[in-house]
Amino acid sequence: MDTVRQQPAVRPTTAWERAERAQATGGTPTLDFGTRLPYDMYVRTDVLHDLQRPMSDDPGEMSFLMVTQVMELYFKLIAFELRKAQERLRDDDVWGALAPLRRTALHLEALNGSWRGLRWMTPADFNRFRDQLGEASGLQSAMYRQVEFTLGLKNAALLRPFKRQTEIHRDLVRAYETPSIWDDVIAVLARRGHDIPREVLGRDVAAEYEPHPAVERAWVEAYRDEGPDNHLRLLGEALTELAEQFGDWRYQHVAAVRRAMGAKPGSGGSNGLAWLERSMARVVFPELWSARTHM
């Protein structure tokens, strides 16, 4: 049964009701409520604050656990915003796609700030509770995988850890088998008159994307008009900011691992730092970067 739907609903209010209440209280906040606090009912703080259950008594584990949970929430928000941007792009509404893309970049910036909460962690600090993690690894984050697949970083092998979690696996397969946001952007370029070959537009979207000179040329042409009404150029800049922030996320992940555990093997069976460094080599929106050489 869906426990979310069992929660009491927050009663919506109007601007008139809020103004009337403020007048009645003389501007002081309401302090007495007949039922649960509306804030708790809306945010579900009881659920959020019950999720931190460290496996050890080491105080550093609470930082590690909570920062990781915050990151998971940001992954979900970023995946949500990327899907909204894709909806707009598929409707050929480039202007409408800019807002969710810009929000995504800001969410990534906030996500990247989360790493600061772990900068205190030395190898000795991490080792005090690391064994309690067992085989748990960020590699197993389904929501992060949603983000990567939507950005176009696809790898069929990374579906395997989720094969026994039916709903999660189904959602990941859907993200893997549908066009990435970069595929949607390339389709927009073609609809706006740029010469994109059929083999690019009709490619297998589940395969690893291979950069194409025609897409690079399209971006060179799109950037020639520097006027405020050139929505393709604005789209390119929004995607650039997003890609930079995502690149910062991956760099800071590597830096945090290097700081806390050096080149030790990862918890999930990988070789840790070396695996992450190889992952960083996969570029998001490749022609958007290579085109700058020719602008």
8 A C-beta contact, residue 86 and residue 92: no
Binding residue ranges: 130, 253
Q: How many CB atoms lie within 10 A of CB 140?
A: 14
What's the one-letter identity of residue 261? M
Q: How many residues does the chain have?
A: 295
DSSP 91: T
The Cα diameter of the chain in Å comes to 68
Binding residue ranges for substrate: 130
For residue 262 the two structure tokens come to: 């050096």
Q: How many helices (H) and strands (E) does the chain have?
A: 15, 0
Binding residue ranges for heme: 253
* Gyration radius from the chain CA atoms: 23
For residue 264 the two structure tokens come to: 């030790």
